[in-house]
Amino acid sequence: MNNGIPTHVAIIMDGNGRWATRQGKKRTEGHYAGYKRLKKTALYILDKGVKYLSVFAFSTENFARSKEEVGYLMDLFVKAFHKETSFFVDHNIKVLFSGRREPLSDEVLKIMDKVVSDTKDCTGGVFNVCLNYGAQAEIVDTTKKIAELYKAGRIELDDINTDSYYHYLYNDLPPVDLMIRTSGEIRISNFMLYSISYAELYFTSTCFPDFDEKEFDKALEDYQKRNITKGTVK
Ligand code: IPE
Ligand code: IPE
Ligand code: MG
């Protein structure tokens, strides 16, 4: 944290479907509205001085949704990342992805790899998209990665500790300072379990397509009022 601005913010972008159905629209229209909102709100958050923004775009569990909805979302990822690659470059934003590659299609993987490669030298903030992401899977995958490195003689057991563990996660990012969930659900849903150990949690009933600049400012104000001690005396 620096000047009251959290270094790493993570958002569970929930409520797209309900936002749409409440207005008599299709759930997929909610996902499109969520994408448009994300573009504006993410830029605002990074402009405020937040260095790392992680967003939950699609969970491993979300593959259990209808074929139509999953298909729409995969299509939207491909179109949106194609369209926004220059937006990220113009705003100097480095894009990363967290999650398993299997069973994403080659088309989705190709655009993910392109946007990562095109933005790799950007220095104005990191936008970490959690896509086909599950935190338990991340911990399992990280454990396997560490075991392989150990087996190959590239690390010692003493190299592994609670701080160095971050280095082996899908991306080497600092711990989350502020975790936001929209739409009124008060649970974690398998999101960034290792990294949110000491995060301040903020829940709002606002659905993600309505989570605008003012809504983020409310979360930030709430965060700044808290007495953050991380295990030391108050
Ligand atoms: C979050 O909105 C976006 C994704 C999970 C892809 P939902 O689609 O979960 O919307 P609700 O929770 O059904 O309203
Ligand atoms: C979490 O939302 C995943 C994303 C926001 C992408 P869900 O809507 O999938 O979570 P549950 O099923 O309500 O826990
Ligand atoms: Mg939901």
- H helices of the chain, where? 16-21, 27-47, 67-90, 106-118, 135-151, 165-168, 213-225
DSSP secondary structure, 31-62, as one string? HHHHHHHHHHHHHHHHHTT-SEEEEEEEEGGG
Residues less than 5 Å from ion ligand 3, measured at CB: 14
Nearest CA among 111, 110, 71, 109 for reference residue 88:
111
Number of residues that this document lists for the chain: 234
User: How far does the centroid of ligand 1 lie from the alpha carbon of residue 143, in Å?
Assistant: 29
The Cα-based distances of 99 to 55, 63, 91, 115, 225 in angstroms read 12, 13, 24, 15, 33
- pLDDT value at 229 more than 90: no
In tens, the pLDDT along 49-98 reads 999 999 999 999 999 999 999 999 999 999 999 999 999 999 999 999 99
Ligand 2 pocket residue status of 73, Cβ below 6 Å: no
In tens, the pLDDT along 84-127 reads 999 999 999 999 999 999 999 999 999 999 999 999 999 999 99
- Within a 10 A sphere around the Cβ of 34, how many other Cβ atoms? 27
In tens, the pLDDT along 169-189 reads 999 999 999 999 999 999 999
- pLDDT value at 1 more than 80: no
Looking at residue 104, what is its pLDDT? 98
Record the tokens describing residue 161, joined without a space.
Answer: 């500790």
Comparison of pLDDT for 228 and 226, the residue scoring more: 226
User: How far does the centroid of ligand 2 lie from the alpha carbon of residue 56, in Å?
Assistant: 8
pTM of the entire predicted model: 0.97
Q: Where are the domains of the chain?
A: 8-134+178-229
Does the annotation mark 190 as catalytic? no
Does the annotation mark 92 as catalytic? no
Fold classification of 8-134+178-229 (topology level): Undecaprenyl pyrophosphate synthetase (3.40.1180)
